Amino acid sequence: MNNNAIGFFDSGVGGLTVVRELLKQLPNERVIYIGDTARTPYGPRDLEQVKQFAWELTNFLLKKQIKMLVIACNTVTAAALKEIKDKLDIPVVGVIVSGARAAIKATQKQHIGVIGTKGTIQSGSYMRAISKRSSQIEITEVPCPKFVPLVESNQAHSPTAKKVVFESLQAFSLSPPDALILGCTHYPLLNSIIQSVMGEDVVLIDSGAETISDVSLLLEYFDIQAKGSRQELHHKFYTTGSAQMFAKIAKSWLGLDNLDVHHVDLQRLDDKKHFMAADNRQSDKTIIIATHNAGKAKEFSHLFDEKGYRVKTLLDYPDLPEIQEMGRMVDK
């Protein structure tokens, strides 16, 4: 038994669709969630940047003493699940395989559709997961990059959303599948519109919701379920963007009052890079860069990380007095 929280992260509010299913199926479990709404969407970003962001979010949650990590983001699951799972000593769950299994079970015509971000579709992760389990199934994948911004801006029920969804799903009109994987955890927030466009005969597969079955099995397997009935669970939610906007969407979707939502600035957190090291250990070699520029700090980190150096900047020493930057080299 273990009463520590389960950690969830996503590129924004989409992962709340996974949390909602956990609250239904496993009401005794406590949740700590972080959504990187300031840097969403992840889909168009390159692989290495997605991995970097994933480790920053993972590191943040590990400091909260979580007992399990749920990567509630299809793009990150495709890009970094194996790497993160290999380096952590707690169970780590993604959202792709469970969605693929559910779709295989649901299809009668042996034709599955997949919609997702550009990154998820380009990774071929759903294609591989489905083909590995059933090579006879036809798979049609369609990227829908406009869906995430709609959800993040709280326009999931707007006329604009209806127009965008209709136009994006026309790729299925000539040969519609009978099972459609919502390959991004944001997409269930558009569920009613997607169902209307695809038709009632098409089964929509919520990959995130299917993941909670795997979470439940792992909790039992490792004997880390929460102990007994807990009436006053204190779930915590963090966002890198607007806490007010996040709380508005979260309250509507989760049906919870008095949500504990906090803004967090990942760029100002100490040690945000260290879990990216190959052996997961911190370096004892440190270089200090005299800059307050977060962009420059990232550039120097990329430059020196592979050489085994830990990079710090003036952002790590907020109590130091300000000095005028001279813009030239000096000898001392």
How many domains does the chain divide into?
Answer: 3
More confident residue, 270 or 194: 194
Instruction: Examine the domain organization and report whether 88 and 105 are in the same domain.
Output: no
> 321 pLDDT band (50/70/90 cuts)?
low
* pLDDT greater than 60 at residue 329: no
Write down the mean pLDDT value for the chain: 86
Instruction: Examine the domain organization and report whether 85 and 112 are in the same domain.
Output: no
> 316 pLDDT band (50/70/90 cuts)?
low
Instruction: Examine the domain organization and report whether 191 and 102 are in the same domain.
Output: yes
Domain annotation covers residue 181: yes
More confident residue, 191 or 228: 191
Instruction: Examine the domain organization and report whether 261 and 299 are in the same domain.
Output: no
Q: Which of 32, 76, 184, 289 is catalytic?
A: 184
* pLDDT greater than 80 at residue 277: no
Instruction: Examine the domain organization and report whether 161 and 113 are in the same domain.
Output: yes
Instruction: Examine the domain organization and report whether 33 and 49 are in the same domain.
Output: yes
Q: Which of 18, 23, 61, 73 is catalytic?
A: 73
Domain stops at, among 165, 188, 209: 209
* pLDDT greater than 50 at residue 328: no
Q: Are 206 and 230 within 8 A, CB to CB?
A: no
More confident residue, 88 or 229: 88
Per the annotation, the verdict on 184 as an active-site residue is: yes
> 267 pLDDT band (50/70/90 cuts)?
confident
User: For the chain, what percent of residues have pLDDT higher than 70?
Assistant: 82
DSSP E strand stretches across the chain: 6-10, 31-35, 68-71, 92-93, 111-116, 138-143, 179-183, 203-206, 236-239, 261-263, 286-289, 310-313
Instruction: Examine the domain organization and report whether 101 and 77 are in the same domain.
Output: no
How far, rounded to the nearest angstrom, does the alpha carbon of residue 110 sit from its chain's CA centroid? 29
Distance CA 247, CA 249 (A): 6
- Tell me, what's the pLDDT at 179? 97
* pLDDT greater than 90 at residue 289: no
Tell me the residue length of the chain: 332
Domain annotation covers residue 274: no
- For 296-306, what is the mean pLDDT? 61
Instruction: Examine the domain organization and report whether 203 and 106 are in the same domain.
Output: yes
Lowest mean pLDDT among 17-26, 187-196, 250-259, 261-270: 261-270
Instruction: Examine the domain organization and report whether 104 and 196 are in the same domain.
Output: yes
**Residue 24 token pair:** 């239904």
Nearest CA among 203, 251, 204, 208 for reference residue 25: 208
**Residue 70 token pair:** 């749920």
Per the annotation, the verdict on 144 as an active-site residue is: no
Domain stops at, among 181, 209, 237: 209
CATH code assigned at 159? 3.40.50.1860
More confident residue, 265 or 312: 265
Domain annotation covers residue 276: no
Query: For residue range 42-63, what is the model confidence (pLDDT) as tens digits?
Result: 999 999 999 999 999 999 999 9
Q: How many CA atoms lie within 13 A of 157 on its CB side?
A: 3
Q: Are 269 and 55 within 8 A, CB to CB?
A: no
* pLDDT greater than 70 at residue 274: no
* pLDDT greater than 50 at residue 331: no
Query: For residue range 65-78, what is the model confidence (pLDDT) as tens digits?
Result: 999 999 999 999 99
| Domain encompassing residue 324 | 283-332
Instruction: Examine the domain organization and report whether 21 and 61 are in the same domain.
Output: yes
Query: For residue range 197-247, what is the model confidence (pLDDT) as tens digits?
Result: 999 999 999 988 889 999 999 999 999 999 876 667 889 999 999 999 999
- Tell me, what's the pLDDT at 110? 97
Instruction: Examine the domain organization and report whether 147 and 202 are in the same domain.
Output: yes
More confident residue, 133 or 328: 133
Q: How many CA atoms lie within 13 A of 321 on its CB side?
A: 2
Instruction: Examine the domain organization and report whether 292 and 163 are in the same domain.
Output: no
Distance CA 117, CA 252 (A): 24
